[in-house]
Amino acid sequence: MSKPSIPKGTRDFSPEEMLRRNYIFDVIKKAFISHGFNQIETPSMENLSTLTGKYGEEGDRLIFKVLNRGDKFLKSLKNLNSEENSQGQMEHQLCAEGLRYDLTVPFARYVVQHQNEINFPFKRFQIQPVWRADRPQKGRYREFYQCDADIIGSNSLTNEISFIQLIDSVFKSFGIKGVAVKVNNRKILSGIAEITGQPEKIIDITVAIDKLDKIGVDLVLEELSNKGLTEESISIIKPLLDIKGDYILIISSLKNILKDSMIGLKGVEELEFVFNYFKSNPLDFVSVQLDMTLARGLNYYTGAIFEVIVDQAKVGSVSGGGRYDDLTGIFGLKDVSGIGISFGADRIYDVMLDQDVFPDFSDISTQLLVINNGEDVNELLRLSNLIRSKGVITELYPDNVKLKKQMKYANGNKIPYVLFVTEENSIYSYELKNMISGEQIILDVDSIIEKLNF
């Protein structure tokens, strides 16, 4: 029999990894709750019609599809015609359901489906796995958790500020050092495209500007030229790439450059509102930076966009989000503005390991192992249950085996205390051993409970 294995790109999580992962989810969840977000969950499987066409062609290919069952499968087989049907068509004939690809589309579906039960503005969070048939590589998995919060049904800029406060409190709780929130606004990118007179080039412009940090001004300009931007357009964009300094300076430059673009100026104004707030009310922990080159893909964002990065960390952004004006439009509910954020648990995990900032989990791990040494096992069971009922995480070693084996178990599981029970003339005595210091002391049961409840 070959050794069992799991599908490529998926993971088993050991007890130690689970403690760390739960810690991350708990901190994020607590921050979401403290801001008044309410948790929902949606099914792992959605109708393929809900998922298809929402993530681009590449995304459609990466959706895991679930085979039809029973007669439906046989029927769908009959309709297959690999000569005439494309692969995508055949997949859709064989499968009516798929695994969710993110939490955003299911959320939009949820809002539209349950719109009459929802009290808007709806502040929801969701922490669930998603699946993508991407080529697995370091840090990229086929099953991974997303931790999303959204406010839908309000276009107030107070939400942008609240989300940045939320980010601050999350990373403060984690104790991750060197965290910055980069903020930009899609309307500024639209404004730039508009003033060049080549608005149809917005994607090329955005993609090129996004590379400024990595390749520098000259190569960005070269790329723009290669993509068909005219010399005049490039001469309009160039000064933007040279803007340096604090947000006040950037804002005033942008106001000048974008003076003929209504949408561009709207974007500048929105950014200004957010940054003015944080000027008067600085954050506790993370820095906020205006980054005109931030683009965040080319998806549904229409206003503020933000991304959280960690100095020195090689993992890319640990969180990101932005405002969208028509997310639920895809399911028929038009003109509902919203804003959302997503935390990347796997990347946060790696950063926390790197910075060595995970807390100690000893309060949710076994504190006491009662040694099974041949004394009346009923008495050992009773005692273990008593100590446990007083709040001490307690195990009785189940088998009466050699002490060495029981101590190996305690050490292997990092159990800090073991208890030896002995009886003489019907009187029990209890010796508690500290597994780190090696110290052994005789105590009564109440004192053991008190000591271990520290």
Beta-bridge partner residues of 323: 339
Under the binding rule (CB under 8 A), the answer on residue 45 touching a copy of itself is yes
**Chosen residue from 377, 407, 435, 443 binding a copy of itself by CB under 8 A:** 377
Under the binding rule (CB under 8 A), the answer on residue 353 touching a copy of itself is no
| Residues near 391 by beta carbon (within 8 Å), at least 6 away in sequence | 449, 453
Give the three-state DSSP class for 233: helix
Under the binding rule (CB under 8 A), the answer on residue 413 touching a copy of itself is yes
Burial class (CB in 10 A: 0-12, 13-18, 19+), 58: exposed
Under the binding rule (CB under 8 A), the answer on residue 165 touching a copy of itself is yes
Catalogue the E-assigned strands of 178-280. 179-185
Min separation Cβ 371 and a copy of itself, Å: 13
Under the binding rule (CB under 8 A), the answer on residue 20 touching a copy of itself is no
**Chosen residue from 77, 203, 215, 357 binding a copy of itself by CB under 8 A:** 77
Cβ-based nearer residue to a copy of itself, 210 or 361: 361
Under the binding rule (CB under 8 A), the answer on residue 173 touching a copy of itself is no
| Residues near 417 by beta carbon (within 8 Å), at least 6 away in sequence | 367, 368, 369, 432, 433, 434, 435, 452
Q: Which stretch binds a copy of itself (CB under 8 A): 235-243, 298-306, 359-367, 427-435?
A: 359-367
Cβ-based nearer residue to a copy of itself, 91 or 307: 91
Cβ-based nearer residue to a copy of itself, 66 or 221: 66
Under the binding rule (CB under 8 A), the answer on residue 83 touching a copy of itself is no
Under the binding rule (CB under 8 A), the answer on residue 357 touching a copy of itself is no
Cβ-based nearer residue to a copy of itself, 286 or 396: 396
Measured CA angle at 29 (ends 325, 388), to 5 deg: 165
Under the binding rule (CB under 8 A), the answer on residue 34 touching a copy of itself is yes
List the interface residues with a copy of itself, window 283-342 (CB under 8 A). 331-332
Burial class (CB in 10 A: 0-12, 13-18, 19+), 197: exposed
Under the binding rule (CB under 8 A), the answer on residue 74 touching a copy of itself is yes
Distance in angstroms (rounded) separating the CA atoms of residues 273 and 140: 36
Under the binding rule (CB under 8 A), the answer on residue 7 touching a copy of itself is yes
Distance in angstroms (rounded) separating the CA atoms of residues 434 and 416: 6
Q: Which stretch binds a copy of itself (CB under 8 A): 63-71, 255-263, 289-297, 423-431?
A: 63-71
Cβ-based nearer residue to a copy of itself, 343 or 397: 397
Under the binding rule (CB under 8 A), the answer on residue 407 touching a copy of itself is no
Min separation Cβ 255 and a copy of itself, Å: 21
- Phi and psi at 181, nearest 5°, equal -100, 120
**Chosen residue from 1, 244, 426, 446 binding a copy of itself by CB under 8 A:** 1
Under the binding rule (CB under 8 A), the answer on residue 404 touching a copy of itself is no
In this structure, which long-range contacts are made by residues 130-135, counting pairs with CB atoms below 8 Å and at least 24 apart in sequence? 130/99, 130/100, 130/101, 130/102, 130/103, 131/44, 131/63, 131/64, 131/99, 131/100, 131/101, 132/62, 132/63, 132/64, 132/101, 133/61, 133/62, 133/63, 133/64, 134/9, 134/62
Cβ-based nearer residue to a copy of itself, 315 or 377: 377
**Chosen residue from 162, 230, 252, 287 binding a copy of itself by CB under 8 A:** 162
Distance in angstroms (rounded) separating the CA atoms of residues 123 and 443: 53
Beta-bridge partner residues of 301: 324
Under the binding rule (CB under 8 A), the answer on residue 447 touching a copy of itself is no
| Residues near 278 by beta carbon (within 8 Å), at least 6 away in sequence | 161, 164, 288
What's the DSSP call for residue 436?
A: T
Under the binding rule (CB under 8 A), the answer on residue 154 touching a copy of itself is yes
Under the binding rule (CB under 8 A), the answer on residue 81 touching a copy of itself is no
Under the binding rule (CB under 8 A), the answer on residue 380 touching a copy of itself is yes
